[in-house]
Structure 1
């Protein structure tokens, strides 16, 4: 398929043709998620039309969530939004793989230490011995996907002391090795601070979706985790059935 190069008048139907041409390339997979759309001046030359006509076509494509326009960077085919069910504990690695994207993992920091008062308060316990504090980053197609900040109570999960969290994400390891009986999700939103913005490749002050999760076994807290996602590319969906 080739974009039209014949001389066309700037009439009301021209922007629709431009939109259809670009939309077709996206929907057929010729232009995959993350692909850069030609710059406006290039589209103007190909279609021999005004910037206003090109901008109208791109604006409609953006409204349809097919493309995203980034200031000073250009226009790109939009990546599929991630849908998460909030009533289950999902494996981020499995979620990304299920979306047909390549999973990446980076352990930023892993510290074993005596539990501080802050650690005990976060875990909801009065006293405990040692904890493992983990910060890691998940990516999809080499694009930052989520930042994870996790605390594991070693008194409740002693086997975590020998786990290799540099090789396996802590969430995946816990789901496959540690049974739990109860969990809680709290969903909120924050703006990215310097650390979060740098880790997720977003601007300072950009919105982030936050999931705070706690898991228990027999009333003992196993782990507390905070997951931060770029707000513009994530949403949560849960479907319920009536009784």
Structure 2
């Protein structure tokens, strides 16, 4: 590795609750010279940082990116030129729909040392905080994590109809704006119209909220409730556990959702 550069750490910040960060991640934040952090990173985590640490917001929302991905990649190289410990703090886990591989490839091209620190992904933690297990021995023996927002070039588009019968539980990231289309495609693929669906907004945060519905009505129910990102969608019989298991944080009612 090029000794003229510092080291870049791609660190998973977890799903939102600041207590869900790993000890390794917290220790890195304490010694970081620069932190580049995402939109879905809980800023309470920045309290771990030392006063000298430079904090750079590089968050992305739908159709609104602070920096294009190629510029962000080059920023990592730029900060590595003058600093020893650079933390790229990413929501959830760096390798689960987090573009971590793209950033690492840039570091490899410049011969910059790096390390990945896994984080708790929202696909498991967010349902759990609502009392939904993504697998259950008598209900779901398989789970698929899938993005509802494929690349703009059309590559790797999701074949929803094939997924309909391929997995007991579907956990959909970034699929809120396409929820009605996804539900329609799954039904055409053979998934029952009464299949339970849960859409969870700001999961693991104090203001988390959940809308329960079915494939047949999820589009209309979300529109009525004014449900907006950031949110995660869980599809499958495991959603029924939400009425039986205790949530970690109390949820709001459907009537209150439009005010959250």
TM-score of Structure 1 vs Structure 2, range by shorter chain:
under 0.3
Select the structure that is richer in strand: 1
Relative contact order: is structure 1 or structure 2 higher (C-alpha 8 Å, sep ≥ 6)? 2
Larger Rg: 1
Hey, which of these two has a bigger chunk of helix by percent? 2
